[in-house]
Amino acid sequence: MTRYLTYRLMHSVIVVVGVTIVVFLLLHHLPGGPARAILGAKATPVTIAAFDKQYGLDNPLPVQYLNYVGQLLHGNLGYSYKLNISVDSLLALDLPKTLFLVGISFLISVIIAVPIGIAQAIRRNRMLDHGLTGVSFLLYSMPTFWLALLMIDILSARLRIFPPEAPQGTTLAQVLTDPLALVLPVLTLVLINFALFSRYMRASAIESLAQDYIKVARSKGLPEHKILARHVLRNSMLPIVTLLGLSLPWLFTAGLVIEQIFNYPGTGLLFFTSAQNQDYPVELGIAIIIAVTTVAGNLLADIAYAVLDPRIRYS
């Protein structure tokens, strides 16, 4: 177990180092280099040389890379010359809002998907199962942005129940003051996650129900609801734990699209506007954060799986 964990940890560190190299190279091979990107198209060769000297950009590439990593390790993700603010301060404002949006949607969809997946497994191949499978397949094949547009068209433009724009505000507390406006972005994300999770949960519960320990529990006369709560639920939750770790990149991607469509002021929207404004330091800073979170999520999913399921022994 310890050997496996050490191996997995080393593996993750190597991937994170690889990501920093890729991001560093992207940052330094921009059209015209960082000096041109910051000083603008009218900068003269003299001002560019002075800028490069001042910021150490005339050093050899490996030295610059080490400086860059040194800054990253000190928590300095870069500086947005377009917005004249550090990337750290931008993320400190926007990251909590994104984590809230993605987190609450994830939580609600798990709470709905777990009982529905189990119900489908119990009534396998009946009307209820076929109906719910159809619904989740339909939702699963819908592109995020198309589902979001449908939500706006039906629930906002036609029925006029919810506002089409997410709540605005610089801090999370300000965003939370307008819960009605939060409904559409959260609902869209919940529906998309639900489609994915209920499919996993159904498959996992079907597998649990076929195990011998369920037969034992039934034969010793345990009531059905206790079998479900104690044996089926706990054993089928295992893949969901892993799924949380592995679905992080997918959650971030869906989050970006949702934030752009509903104008939700989180990191996804920040990333989108930075791409429009050619604000590379912000884009690459967010990319690093997402990559590290993804790698950490994969690592935690593997560890959680090994800890939760004693049958799994890695060599």
Partner 1 sequence: MTMFSRPENTVAVTESAPAGGVARSRSRVHISVLGLIGLAIIIAACLFCFVGPLFYHTSQVASNLAASNLPPGSGHPLGTDDNGFDILGRLMIGGQSSLEIGAAVALLATSTGVIWGAIAGFYGGFMDGLMMRIVDVILAVPALFFLLILATSAPPSMLELIIVLSFLAWQVPSRLVRGESLSLRTREFVQAVQVMGGGSARAVIRHIIPNTVSTIVVNATFQVADAILILAVLSYLGFGLPPPAATWGGMLSDGSSYIFAGYWWQIYPVGVLIVIVVVAFNFLGDALRDLLDVRLR
Number of residues lying near partner 1 (CB under 8 A): 45
Cβ of residue 291: shortest distance to partner 1, in angstroms?
A: 4
Q: Determine, following the binding rule CB under 8 A, whether residue 153 of this chain makes contact with partner 1.
A: yes
Structure-token pair, residue 200: 């996993």
Q: CA 267 to CA 204: how far, in whole Å?
A: 33
Would you call 78 helix, strand, or coil by DSSP?
Answer: coil
Stretch that binds partner 1, among 25-33, 71-79, 101-109, 167-175 (CB under 8 A): 25-33
Closer Cβ to partner 1, 114 or 291, answer by number: 291
Stretch that binds partner 1, among 144-152, 211-219, 232-240, 305-313 (CB under 8 A): 144-152
Structure-token pair, residue 171: 């801090």
Closer Cβ to partner 1, 26 or 216, answer by number: 26
**Mask of contacts with partner 1, 70-99, x by CB under 8 A?**
------------------------------
**Can you give the three-state secondary structure of 222-278, one letter per residue?**
CCHHHHHHHHHHHHHCHHHHHHHHHCHHHHHHHHHHHHHHHCCCCHHHHHHHHHHCC
Structure-token pair, residue 113: 């998907």
Helix then strand then coil, in percent of the chain rounded to 5, is 75, 0, 20
Please name the amino acid found at residue 179.
Answer: P
Structure-token pair, residue 222: 């345990």
* DSSP symbol at 313: -
Nearest CA to 246 among 190, 305, 204, 289?
Answer: 305
Q: Determine, following the binding rule CB under 8 A, whether residue 157 of this chain makes contact with partner 1.
A: yes
Q: Determine, following the binding rule CB under 8 A, whether residue 144 of this chain makes contact with partner 1.
A: yes
Cβ of residue 71: shortest distance to partner 1, in angstroms?
A: 19
- Return phi, psi of residue 266, to 5°: -110, -165
Structure-token pair, residue 273: 């506007």
Q: Determine, following the binding rule CB under 8 A, whether residue 149 of this chain makes contact with partner 1.
A: yes
Closer Cβ to partner 1, 68 or 271, answer by number: 271
Q: Determine, following the binding rule CB under 8 A, whether residue 25 of this chain makes contact with partner 1.
A: no
Cβ of residue 86: shortest distance to partner 1, in angstroms?
A: 19
* One of 93, 291, 299, 301 touching partner 1 (CB under 8 A): 291
Q: CA 30 to CA 301: how far, in whole Å?
A: 35
Stretch that binds partner 1, among 58-66, 143-151, 174-182, 223-231 (CB under 8 A): 143-151
Q: Determine, following the binding rule CB under 8 A, whether residue 175 of this chain makes contact with partner 1.
A: no
Q: Determine, following the binding rule CB under 8 A, whether residue 189 of this chain makes contact with partner 1.
A: no
Q: CA 100 to CA 145: how far, in whole Å?
A: 20
Closer Cβ to partner 1, 160 or 225, answer by number: 160
**Mask of contacts with partner 1, 232-271, x by CB under 8 A?**
-----------------xx-xx--xx--xx---------x
Q: Determine, following the binding rule CB under 8 A, whether residue 11 of this chain makes contact with partner 1.
A: yes
Residues 84, 286 contacting (CB under 8 angstroms): no
Taking the alpha carbons of 288, 294, 299, 303 in that order, is the dihedral positive or negative?
positive
Cβ of residue 173: shortest distance to partner 1, in angstroms?
A: 28
Judge residue 167's burial from the number of C-beta atoms within 10 Å of its C-beta, 0-12 exposed, 13-18 middle, 19 or more buried. buried
Q: Determine, following the binding rule CB under 8 A, whether residue 196 of this chain makes contact with partner 1.
A: no
Catalog residues that contact partner 1 under the rule CB under 8 A: 11, 14-16, 18-19, 22, 26, 30-31, 141-146, 149-150, 152-153, 156-157, 164, 249-250, 252-253, 256-257, 260-261, 271-272, 275-276, 278, 280, 283-284, 286-287, 290-291, 294-295
